[in-house]
Amino acid sequence: MEIEIKLLKRIQEPLYQAYLGEILLFSFRNTLFEIELYKNPRTDVSKLYAESFNRCFLKAKQKDNFLYLLDEDIITRPFTLLPHAIARYQTFIREKAK
C-alpha cells in the first residue's frame, strides 16, 4: 500500500485523490456503517448509511441513503473490509507523519 500511494502521488495528484475517494467510500464508510449497524441493529439503516457517508465526505449532507440494499456483503460477509480499513488507515497515518 505504501508503494501504491507513493506511485500515485508521483504519477498524478488527481489520480491519487480518486484513490483516496475510493478508499473512503469502499473501505472506511462500509466499515463504519457495519460497526454502527451491529452495535445497534434496530437503528434506521438508511439514515445510518447516510451518516457513515457524511462522516467520510465532510461536505456531504445526506439524510437517507438506501444503497445499502445493494450491498449483499453486509449480510453475507460482514466486516470483510475491516482488516483492509485498518491497514489503510495505518498506512495513511505513517505517510502523513513523514
pLDDT, tens digit (0-9, with 9 covering 90-100), for 3-53: 888 888 888 888 889 999 999 998 999 999 999 999 999 999 999 999 999
Q: What is the mean pLDDT of residues 63-82?
A: 93
Residue 96 pLDDT greater than 80, yes or no:
no
User: DSSP string spanning 26-71?
Assistant: IIIIHHHHHHHHHH-TTS-HHHHHHHHHHHHSTT---S--GGGGG-
Q: What is the mean pLDDT of residues 59-81?
A: 94
- The model's confidence at residue 1, banded by pLDDT at 50, 70 and 90, is confident
Domain boundaries along the sequence of the chain: 2-97
Q: What is the mean pLDDT of residues 78-90?
A: 93
